[in-house]
Each structure stands twice: as structure tokens, then as C-alpha cells.
Amino acid sequence: MRETREARDTAEGGAVRVASVLRRAVAEGLIGEDRPLAGFVDVQGVRGSVAGLHEAFAGVPEVLHTFAAKACALVPVLRLLADAGMGCEVASPGELRLALDAGFPPARIVLDSPAKTRAELREALSLGVAVNADNLAELERVDALRPADCASVVGLRVNPQVGSGTIGAMSTATEHSKFGVALRDPGARARVVEAFARRPWLTRLHAHVGSQGCPLPLIAEGLAALHRLAEEIDARAGRQQVTSLDLGGGLPVNFADDTVTPTYAEYVAALAAAEPALLDGRYRLVTEFGRSLLAKNGFLAARVEYVKDAGGRRIALTHAGGQVATRTVLMPGAWPLRVSAHGPDGSPKRTPPLPQDVAGPLCFAGDVVAHERALPELAEGDLVVLHDTGAYYFSAPWAYNSLPRPGVYGCLSRDGYVTFATVRPPQTLREISVESGLEQADALLTGFPAPALP
């Protein structure tokens, strides 16, 4: 397919921005021999993506846009999103703590998880955090734990079972998905309607079809089914009991180039095509976008440590592998990343391309982020950039081989000059040891109490 001028200009603009940030980061010592791996977040880009999301939904009467904390569980990033007008979707006690510490008001936080404990539910309900119960058994727990003056909106997650996208692991509305009440199972729909009839305070429905690998029509089909269920529940109640719909899931991200597709406007259009009444204001809407807000607003940069040849193939050994790009390493066909080559000063390399593997530092053979990728020939001291990694990559590290977590820096360009703010400092080797039990080093030698005498 011939590349459009718009796509080419967008890609070239993105390359220029990355190169200018990288050159400045090298000059300031944020990436180099002593710090061979770092992540960068484009602050202006994040604000622009949030603004684009709000603009796409401008015609919808009432919407709470929440950010899926799992996509970037870093407090400064979450605080930036809160300042930009987002709420927060959390799926664990840790994510709830991060959201509160980042400054999200409890009323703008939604708790989702398939395995909430009673303690988690009790805390959320006491704070006034919205809760989406995953199943009917969880609703029974809420019955027992919900205080009389509870301010939390409580919903139920259902699985519309509309099928899978191209990545099975990212598709959450399949026949056997672990999430929600499976609506098409025999008797399930009637049980859901009855659960609402017995609980006047149960006022929200939630569904999540998936994101990456899921086409817009599939996502819209699942959310249209959610709307039909709400109408059925309201008809049974003889009033509007369901007051809000949580449209879980996000948008797939284009990892092929810098073009943003699909857009939030296309998502809204797909919803309107599937069920126009979804957007008419009868139900307040909640969204839970994550990857689509941050992926293209961040990148990883890694130093090339060695270059070698094996079996007639060039291999560049870098410091970015499965510890940061876990999904790409383990599922390269589903999660390919663009890689660009830069010199030691951060400037793009312009030499003729050569097929090369870009490998990481982990001690297993599959630790490769790009296979036979045509790149300018890499050499020791060069830098590689993994593009579109602002979501999930540097914020969800894998601790294999006890490698330190990389520093993450926010970048801001003003008057053509790039400045940085530390989001997370590079992890020290001592911090790794403390995390791995240093303070209990003798526990297995001297830490056992003496057996009690009869």
C-alpha cells in the first residue's frame, strides 16, 4: 500500500521528536554507559491525547473518562492524567493505593478485578470508590459489606460473549473468558436481571470486550449488548434502575508507524452505528482507556553493548529485552515494535540498512525484541529506540535476572529546548537486594523459633 503524505509527515515528525529528546538525554547523562536503559514520557503528547479523547465524546451528555492504571502504574504519570481531567480504573489494592496517592478523588476511581478480597471490597466501599462486581458471588459479598451510607456506585460485569480478536490473550469477551457473568450461558441472563431486581442500589453495568487485536465492530457489538441488557433490567424494575454503563476496554494501537489509528472519533462512530441510544445521555458513560492514551507518548532507549555474528546473522546485544518488553519477546507476532538506530550522541544513523537481530540482556535464547530487522548497522555504544512503549513497557517490569528497573523521565519541549523531570529514578543494586530479602538474609539459618517443649 502506498504511504500517504499525511502518514509520512506524521512519522517523520515523530522521528524528529524522538531524536531531539534522545540527543538531549545523552547530553544530560540520562542514558549512556552507566545508565544503559531509560524510558521517556512526552508530557505534551499525553495532554494532547487526553484532550482528543474528551473532544471525541464532546457530543455525549455525561462521561467519566478513566485511565487504566495497569497501563502505566507510575504515580507522577497518574497525577499528570488526573490534572488533565481523567479518572482512574484500578484492578488491585496496589493500583488503588497509587490512584489515591496520585490525587484521584475516590468518586472518580473505579475498582475492577476478578478476584477482590473482602478486605479490598470493604476498603473501596468505605471510601466511596465505584466497584464493578465480577460475578454474582461477589455481589453477595457486597450485600454483607456495603455500609448503609455507602457512596460507592456498584455495578456488575457481564461478558457478552461476542468472540475473540486476533490476540486471544487480549480478548475478554470469549465463550470461556474468566471475566464477568457469561450472558449467553443457559439461565445467566435471567439471573443477572433478578440480581438487579433484588438490589435497588445496583445501578451500573460493565462490559469489556478487549483492546489490542479487537476490531471496532466487535467492541461496539459487545457494548451494544450491554445497552440492551440495561433496557431489559429497567423494564423489569419499572423504572430506570441502571443509571450508568461502564464501557470497559480500550482501543487497539497502531504499532506500524506514528499514525494514530483507530481514533477516538472512529470509536465513537462505531458505537453510534452499533447502537445510537448508547450515546443519547440516558445512561451516564464510563470509559477505561489505557494503552491508546500513552503508547505513542513514550519510548525506551537502550545502549548496544556488543555486536556479533552467529550463523550468518548479525546480532546486536542491547539492554532492552524481556525485562521491559515482555509481551514483545514472548509473543513477537502479536506485539511487534518499531526499532530505530541512533549513534552514541542520539542522532539517527543514516547508513545503509542491514538485517539484524536486536536482542536483550536476559539469560534465555528467546530474549529478542526484533528479528532480522533492517536497520543501519549497529555498533558498540550505539543506541536503539523501541517506539510506542509509553504504556505497559517501562512501567510493568519483569524481574527475571534481577536487572535494575530503568529510570523513567518526563520530557517537555519549550521554545525548541527539551527539559526533563524524573518520574522514577533508576533502581540501585542495593534496592534490588533489599527487595530480594537482604534484611532477612539469615532467616533460613537463625530465623526459626525453637520448638515448643511439651
Output the domain CATH number for residue 382: 2.40.37.10
283 and 227 together in one domain: yes
Q: How many CA atoms lie within 13 A of 71 on its CB side?
A: 30
What are the pLDDT tens digits along the chain (454 aa)?
233 333 333 444 566 689 999 999 999 999 999 999 999 999 999 999 999 999 999 999 999 999 999 999 999 999 999 999 999 999 999 999 999 999 999 999 999 999 999 999 999 999 999 999 999 999 999 999 999 999 999 999 998 866 555 645 555 555 666 778 988 889 999 999 999 999 999 999 999 887 766 788 888 888 999 999 999 999 999 999 999 999 988 898 999 999 999 999 999 999 999 999 999 999 999 999 999 999 999 999 999 999 999 999 999 999 999 999 999 999 998 889 999 999 999 999 999 999 999 999 999 999 999 999 999 999 999 999 999 999 999 888 999 999 999 999 999 998 889 999 999 999 999 999 999 999 999 999 999 999 888 7
Among residues 249, 267, 293, which one ends one of the domains?
293
- Per the DSSP assignment, residues forming a β-bridge with 420 are 411
254 and 319 together in one domain: no
102-to-83, 147, 153, 300 alpha-carbon distances in Å: 10, 26, 21, 23
> Of 312, 307, 300, nearest to 376 (Cα)?
307
pLDDT of the residue at 210: 73
**Helix-helix angle 43-56:75-83, to 10 degrees:** 40
Task: Extract the C-alpha cell encoding 103.
Answer: 490525587
Domain hosting 303: range is 9-41+296-435
C-alpha span between 86 and 122 (Å, rounded): 25
Pair 7, 259: CB distance under 8 Å: yes
pLDDT of the residue at 354: 96
- Looking up residue 164, the CATH number of its domain turns out to be 3.20.20.10
pLDDT of the residue at 429: 97
C-alpha span between 415 and 418 (Å, rounded): 8
287 and 139 together in one domain: yes
pLDDT of the residue at 169: 57
Kindly state whether residue 4 falls inside one of the protein's structural domains. no
340 and 269 together in one domain: no
Kindly state whether residue 449 falls inside one of the protein's structural domains. no
C-alpha span between 420 and 148 (Å, rounded): 48
- Per the DSSP assignment, residues forming a β-bridge with 67 are 88, 289
C-alpha span between 454 and 16 (Å, rounded): 76
C-alpha span between 348 and 327 (Å, rounded): 26
234 and 304 together in one domain: no
Q: How many CA atoms lie within 13 A of 8 on its CB side?
A: 5
Residue with cell 486471544: 168
Which run of H or of E encompasses 206?
strand 202-208
115 and 31 together in one domain: no
pLDDT of the residue at 4: 37
Kindly state whether residue 3 falls inside one of the protein's structural domains. no
CB atoms within 10 A of CB 288: 26
127 and 155 together in one domain: yes
**SS3 sequence of 79-134:** HHHHHCCCEEEECCHHHHHHHHHHCCCHHHEEECCCCCCHHHHHHHHHHCCEEEEC
- Per the DSSP assignment, residues forming a β-bridge with 38 are 301, 407
C-alpha span between 369 and 332 (Å, rounded): 7
Among residues 236, 264, 293, which one ends one of the domains?
293
Count the domains in the chain.
2
Kindly state whether residue 287 falls inside one of the protein's structural domains. yes
84 and 124 together in one domain: yes
> Of 332, 167, 159, nearest to 248 (Cα)?
159
Please report, as a single letter, which amino acid is at residue 152.
S
268 and 136 together in one domain: yes
Task: Extract the C-alpha cell encoding 268.
Answer: 465513537
Kindly state whether residue 320 falls inside one of the protein's structural domains. yes
Kindly state whether residue 2 falls inside one of the protein's structural domains. no
Kindly state whether residue 213 falls inside one of the protein's structural domains. yes
Name residues whose C-beta falls within 8 Å of residue 285's C-beta, 6 or more positions apart in sequence: 57, 60, 62, 63, 64, 244, 245, 246, 247, 278, 279
> Of 119, 334, 123, 371, nearest to 210 (Cα)?
334
Planar angle of CA 285, 287, 288, nearest 5 degrees: 155
DSSP 71: G
306 and 243 together in one domain: no
pLDDT of the residue at 159: 87
236 and 224 together in one domain: yes
Name residues whose C-beta falls within 8 Å of residue 69's C-beta, 6 or more positions apart in sequence: 78, 88, 89, 90, 91, 95, 98, 99, 290
Among residues 276, 293, 310, which one ends one of the domains?
293
Kindly state whether residue 207 falls inside one of the protein's structural domains. yes
> Of 270, 272, 252, 271, nearest to 261 (Cα)?
252
- Per the DSSP assignment, residues forming a β-bridge with 307 are 316
Is residue 338 classed as helix, strand or coil in its secondary structure?
coil
272 and 139 together in one domain: yes
